[in-house]
Chains A and B, each alone.
Chain A
Amino acid sequence: MSMVVVGLISYLLPLTSYLLTSCTSIECSINSLVRTRYQFTNSAGDSISLQDTLTVVTTRKDGTQTVIFSSDSIIYNKGVGTCKFHLPISHSHPEDELVFHFIGDSIHLTDTLWVEKEDYPHFESVDCNASYFHKLTSIRHTHNCLDSVVIVNPSVTNDDQVVHVNIYPKIGN
């Protein structure tokens, strides 16, 4: 009987080693991008399409201005008919400065948004890239083309479908 048990132990040695080493997997979120979603809205609360061409730029650390690109096909370099759009959000800077360029047939207006936020490191696994989640705390802006800007959902995560900010343009834009 002792030999049987010892034999069983010997049999279980490679089996257990296999079980211990074979059950690992990498499970990162399908969408690892953390972006802010903006929506142009009328006073009734309905989403509207912008008639002007929209370009969004920001000021980087070195002072240079760069056009912000969304990761999908809508690019905020001369975006036309914009209704809802994503913009990147800085990982750990307390305030992002976004300059909106509204370009029509005969006009070129700009408005600047200062987006204040709190940043939280987000961890899923050592196999998944480091990312930050954010909580929008306030947005200041100029009023050349924009009537108001309202945070409707302050929590910015990797959920791509949530609208975080409603932008109310002045009538006629």
Chain B
Amino acid sequence: MTIKSYMSTFIRRSAISLLLLVVATGAHAQLKFFTVEKDSIPLFRGFAVSFDLVGAGLLALSDYGQYEAALRVNLHDEWFPIVEAGLGKANYDDEVTLLHYKTSAPYFKIGIDKNMLKDKHGPNRLYLGLRYGFTSYKIDISRPVYQDPVWQWDTNYTVNDAACKYHWAEIVLGVDAKIFGSLHLGWSVRYKQRLSHSEDGEWGKPWYVPGFGTYDTKLGGTFNVIIDI
């Protein structure tokens, strides 16, 4: 077992253990976890929109990243169903292999967060949540014409419009702090797991997946600007 696969197994087991710790402390605790506290606060508390600055920053400063926005429903300051949508892009040239990789496609995530703080109705929140993500995208890969090392024929290396699909899940741990008025700032750290993927043709596997990141990515994060509406 390699160090990477060992770490991957360790992280996966830790994440599962964390979830089990939260949800499996007994039947009573489970029921309590999935119920809404009874008090005078109404169930529907409004919407919030958010924008991720990490993905946009990556896109501005590196060769890949994403623009991502989210719409979150506030249910009793405790449960937060959320839809996230974005545009993931990569336009990468490798100086050593001379390979060029390009893709640009929308992606969608749906999920739910739970506010883990005891003071549910306070100005700040600590989230634990899950996401399901999906994207359908096309890839262009190319390399400048080179000579076959034995035969010396000019060789074109191109993969054009290779259609791919990718499904994944995320475990989200995040914080949200009220700054003033309806403005919040928040962070989230995400553990990602590929669920399934498909690629048309026999060219191999993708390197960057819109919304997911590089193919074998396990960790990601967001820094969100959140506005209650």
Q: Decide if A129 is an interface residue (CB 8 Å cutoff).
A: yes
The answer to whether B148 and A93 have CB atoms under 8 Å apart is yes
Evaluate whether A12 and B177 lie within 8 angstroms (CB atoms) in the complex, with A126-B99, A133-B202 already known: no
Q: Does chain A have a CB within 8 A of B153?
A: yes
B158 interface contact, C-beta 8 A: yes
Chain A residues with CB below 8 A from B119, complex form:
1
Selected from B152, B159, B187, B204, the residue in CB contact (under 8 A) with A62 is B152
- Can you show 16 pairs from A to B with CB atoms below 8 A apart? A9-B175, A16-B221, A20-B54, A24-B214, A61-B148, A90-B151, A91-B148, A96-B151, A120-B202, A123-B203, A124-B204, A124-B205, A126-B207, A127-B94, A128-B97, A132-B155
B38 within 8 A of A: no
Output the nearest chain A residue to B159 by Cβ-Cβ distance. Answer: A121
> Using an 8 Å CB-CB cutoff, how does the interface string of B131-162 with A read, 1 for contact, 0 for none?
00000000001010010111111011111000
Q: Which chain A residue has the least Cβ–Cβ distance from B124? A: A5
Q: Is A19 an interface residue (CB 8 A)?
A: yes
- Say if the beta carbon of B185 comes within 8 Å of chain A: yes
Query: A130 within 8 Å of B by Cβ?
Result: yes
Are A121 and B153 interface neighbours, CB within 8 A?
A: no
Asked whether, in the complex, the Cβ of B92 is within 8 Å of the Cβ of A126, the reply is yes
Measured CB to CB, the nearest residue on chain A to B123 is A2
Residues of B close to A1: CB separation below 8 A: 119, 122-124
Interface string of B207-225 (1 = CB under 8 A from A): 1000000111111110100
Closest 3 CB pairs of A and B: A123-B204, A16-B221, A5-B124
Instruction: Select one of B96, B124, B219 contacting A23, CB under 8 A.
Output: B219
Residue of B nearest to A17 (CB): B221
What is the CA–CA distance of A90 and B203 in the complex, to the nearest angstrom? 17
Partner of B187 from A16, A60, A91 at Cβ < 8 Å: A16
What is the interface size of chain B, counting residues whose CB is below 8 A from a CB of the partner? 52
Bound state CA distance, A61 and B148, in angstroms? 9
Interface presence of B186 (CB below 8 A): yes
Chain B residue numbers with a CB within 8 Å of A92 are 148, 153, 155-157
Query: Which residues from B are CB-within-8-Å of A9?
Result: 175, 177, 185-187
Q: How far is the CB of B221 from chain A (nearest CB, A)?
A: 4
Considering the chains assembled together, what is the distance between the CA atoms of A25 and B122 in angstroms? 42
Contacts of B189 in A (CB 8 A): 12, 15-16, 19
CA distance A159 to B141 in the complex (A): 23
Binary A-proximity of B78-109 (CB < 8 A = 1, otherwise 0): 00000000000000101011110100000000
Q: Which residues of A contact B158 (CB under 8 A)?
A: 121
Contact B97 A130 (CB under 8 A): yes
How distant is the Cα of A27 from the Cα of B3 in the complex, in angstroms?
A: 13
B28 at the A interface (CB under 8 A): no
